[in-house]
């Protein structure tokens, strides 16, 4: 692609580079520089790509994009190279998002289940749907690995281009606050942008809840229509000043889309879906209050897209659950084991309340907190789990570079004002074995935090850890 075409509509200054040239590849990774490529210098959180500009020139880069003057004769100047990189990637792949109907879902909790439900419901209508998310990426039924909730711009645009080639009508994607703040989705326009909720998470990156909210809010600057959970405490702040039309959904008050007469079951939840003059009963196969919100949100998206009301009710009632989200593990014993991804105070509160409604005996909650992440939520998660559980097993999650014992100590600090008994077992596999060995008739054992993950991140390695396998091993003893 010619350099001038690659930089179209990006506002990039050509600096000293006045002649057009053929660009054979684009990259922001200095290790992938080849002769004739465009190298984009991005000042990351850990490494500043500007440090490698001279090395990229020597490796044969045809042009180098910078956001501060390095005095290179092949440099181009951008005010924000992150934003420019996303726009360049969209140009490189021919703006595939314009040939798909894009749906973006942001929020602290519920993104994975909501996007999966939307995909299932649109497929119920006969559409081919791509999905980009935390667990994996999907093109129809074909599974592609996911490294991040929202891919970096090059991988994102490449994936969207592949969806176009394979005939997708829609792309439903989780849009993280990191991705919005880092402009990874610049170049995408969403038919519907969705805000599910905002609770404490990622403050190690955003610093404050206000900053976290503002990052989420960026989705609506890229959306033709917005959909907001009006029951969330941050809904008014998210809605303020947004240019696109906004509709609301609620289980508590009057809104464009509502869920009422809610009936919780051990294996699901029933509610009355109302949209305008239409109402009907929905029978979801996923339990819990959060399932009401996820299902209501998915229904509202599909109705916004023009799916008939009756078909929405049918599709939502037929939709299955998501791996690692309130997932019941078969035990053939007189107790129940549930795996859930809950890794925030609000997420843990939601799943504990859900299971407490239907468990016959004790609710035993096993959980930890991730290392190198927001430390302030650790005692909060301890307090939440203690307030809603009958027994706690405190263990490791993904400790990363931190000492597991130090993370556990932060959690235990939140138990100072509670009387809920607990046991500390640092090794997560051993903790699960301990919980299974001490289970009583009627107990529900919640394994919280790992969800769909089949690995554990330690200080110096990533090990295989699938909690379903661990449970099976514990049951066999």
Domain boundaries, the chain: 3-92, 96-318, 327-476
Judged against a pLDDT cut of 90, whether residue 345 lies above it is answered with: yes
| DSSP assignment of 118-140 | HHHHHHHTT--EEEE-SS-EEET
What does the block give as tokens for 256? 């464009």
Whether residue 36 is predicted with pLDDT greater than 90 in this model: the reply is: yes
Q: Which bin fits 463, alpha (ψ -120 to 50), beta or left (φ > 0)?
A: beta
Query: Mean of the pLDDT values across residues 102-109?
Result: 94
Q: Does domain 3-92 have CATH number 3.40.50.300?
A: no
Mean pLDDT for 358-365 is: 91
Torsion of CA 453, 182, 369, 327, to 10 degrees: -30
**What number is the average pLDDT over the span 48-76?**
93
The pTM of the full predicted model, rounded to 2 decimals, is 0.80
Domains 3-92 and 327-476 share a fold: no
Given this model, what pLDDT does residue 290 score? 85
Q: Which tokens in the block code for residue 473?
A: 């091993």
Tokens 């519907």 identify what position? 192
Q: Which two tokens stand for residue 145?
A: 């690995």
Strand partners, 394: 367, 424
Over residues 203-207, the mean pLDDT reads: 74
Give pLDDT, residue 82. 94
According to DSSP, residue 21 is labeled: -
Binned at pLDDT 50, 70 and 90, residue 357 comes out as confident
Q: Is the pLDDT assigned to residue 266 strictly greater than 70? A: no
Backbone φ, ψ for residue 323 (5° rounding):
-55, 130
Nearest to 66 by CA among 36, 92, 30: 30
- pLDDT over 70 for what percent of the chain? 98
Q: What is the mean pLDDT of the chain?
A: 93
Mean pLDDT over residues 113-132, rounded?
96
Residue owning tokens 């879902």: 105
The H or E element that residue 409 is part of is: helix 404-412
pLDDT of 11 > 90? The answer is no
**CATH 3.90.190.20 holds for 327-476:** yes
Residue 141: CB atoms within 10 Å: 7
Q: Does position 261 have pLDDT exceeding 70, yes or no? A: yes
Beta strands in 163-236 (DSSP E): 170-174, 190-195, 223-229
C-alpha–C-alpha distance, residues 445 and 390, integer Å: 10
To the question of domain 96-318 being in CATH 1.10.3720.10, the answer is no
Of 333, 444, 471, the closest CA to residue 389 belongs to 444
Query: How many whole angstroms separate alpha carbon 272 and alpha carbon 47?
Result: 51
For residue 245, is pLDDT > 70?
yes
Residue 293 has pLDDT above 70, yes or no: yes
In the predicted structure, residue 437 carries a pLDDT above the cut 70: yes
Residue 86 has phi, psi (to 5 degrees) of -65, -40
Query: Can you say whether the dihedral through the CA atoms of 308, 246, 140, 197 is positive or negative?
Result: negative
Alpha helix (H) residue ranges in 95-208: 111-124, 153-165, 177-181, 203-206
DSSP state of 313: H
d(CA 393, CA 80): 46
User: Where does the pLDDT of residue 26 fall: very low under 50, low under 70, confident under 90, or very high at 90 and above?
Assistant: very high
Label residue 285 by pLDDT band (50, 70, 90): confident
Return d(Cα 49, Cα 29) in angstroms, integer: 8
Place of tokens 């979801």: 284
* pLDDT higher than 90, residue 289: no
- For 405-419, what is the mean pLDDT? 96
Looking up tokens 């998210």, which residue turns up? 238
Tokens for 371, please give them: 């290392």
What integer pLDDT is reported at residue 15 of this predicted model?
65
Which range, 282-291, 307-316, 335-344, is most confident?
A: 307-316
Q: What is the pLDDT of residue 19?
A: 76
> Could you give the C-alpha distances from 101 to 112, 116, 129, in angstroms and in order?
19, 16, 9
Q: Angle 109-228-373 (CA atoms, 0-180°, nearest 5)? A: 30
CA distance 247 to 259: 15
Least confident of 73-77, 133-137, 156-160, 442-446: 133-137
Strand locations in 36-120, DSSP E? Answer: 37-40, 63-66, 75-77, 101-106
Q: Which residue has the higher pLDDT, 151 or 462?
A: 462
Tokens describing residue 242: 């947004």
> Which phi and psi (to 5°) does residue 246 adopt?
-125, 135
Report phi then psi at 155, rounded to 5. -65, -40
Distance CA 226, CA 365 (A): 36
pLDDT at 18: 66
Can you read off the two tokens belonging to residue 21?
């040239």
Q: What is the pLDDT of residues 135-179, one digit of tens each?
A: 789 999 898 877 777 889 999 999 999 999 999 999 999 999 999
CB atoms within 10 A of CB 338: 21
């Amino acid at each position: 692609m010619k350099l001038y075409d690659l930089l179209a509509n990006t506002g990039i200054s050509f600096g000293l580079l006045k002649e057009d040239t053929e660009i054979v590849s684009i990259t922001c990774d200095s290790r992938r520089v080849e002769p004739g490529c465009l190298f984009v210098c991005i000042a990351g959180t850990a490494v500043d790509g500007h440090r490698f500009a001279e090395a990229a020139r020597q490796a044969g880069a045809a042009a180098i994009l910078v956001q501060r003057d390095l005095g290179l004769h092949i440099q181009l100047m951008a005010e924000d190279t992150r934003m420019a990189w996303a726009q360049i990637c969209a140009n490189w792949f021919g703006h595939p998002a314009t040939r798909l109907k894009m749906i973006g879902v942001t929020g602290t909790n519920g993104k994975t289940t909501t996007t999966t439900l939307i995909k299932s419901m649109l497929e119920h209508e006969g559409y081919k749907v791509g999905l980009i998310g935390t667990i994996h990426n999907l093109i129809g039924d074909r599974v592609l690995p996911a490294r991040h909730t929202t891919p970096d711009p090059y991988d994102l645009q490449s994936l969207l281009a592949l969806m176009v080639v394979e005939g997708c009508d829609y792309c439903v994607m989780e849009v993280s606050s990191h991705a919005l703040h880092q402009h990874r989705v610049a170049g995408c326009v969403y038919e519907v942008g969705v805000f599910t909720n905002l609770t404490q998470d990622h403050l190690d990156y955003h610093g404050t809840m206000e900053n976290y909210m503002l990052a989420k809010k960026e989705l609506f600057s890229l959306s033709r229509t917005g959909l907001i959970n009006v029951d969330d405490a941050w809904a008014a702040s998210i809605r303020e000043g947004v240019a696109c039309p906004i509709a609301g959904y609620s289980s508590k008050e009057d809104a464009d889309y509502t869920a009422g007469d809610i009936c919780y079951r051990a294996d699901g939840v029933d509610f009355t879906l109302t949209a305008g003059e239409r109402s009907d009963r929905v029978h979801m196969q996923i339990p819990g209050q959060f399932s009401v919100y996820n299902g209501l949100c998915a229904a509202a998206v599909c109705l916004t897209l023009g799916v008939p009301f009756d078909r929405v009710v049918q599709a939502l009632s037929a939709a299955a659950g998501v791996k690692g989200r309130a997932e019941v593990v078969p035990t053939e014993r007189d107790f129940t084991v549930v795996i859930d991804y809950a890794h925030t105070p609000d997420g843990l509160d939601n799943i504990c309340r859900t299971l407490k409604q239907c468990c016959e005996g004790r609710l035993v909650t096993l959980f930890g907190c991730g290392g190198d992440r927001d430390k302030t939520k650790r005692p909060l998660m301890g307090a939440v789990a203690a307030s809603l559980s009958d027994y706690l097993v405190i263990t490791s999650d993904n400790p990363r570079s931190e000492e597991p014992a130090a993370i556990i100590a932060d959690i235990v600090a939140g138990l100072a004002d509670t009387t809920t008994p607990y046991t500390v077992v640092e090794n997560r596999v051993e903790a699960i074995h301990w919980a299974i060995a001490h289970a009583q008739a009627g107990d529900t054992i919640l394994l919280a935090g790992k969800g769909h993950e089949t690995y554990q991140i330690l200080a110096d390695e990533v090990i295989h850890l699938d909690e379903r396998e661990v449970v099976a091993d514990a049951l066999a003893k």
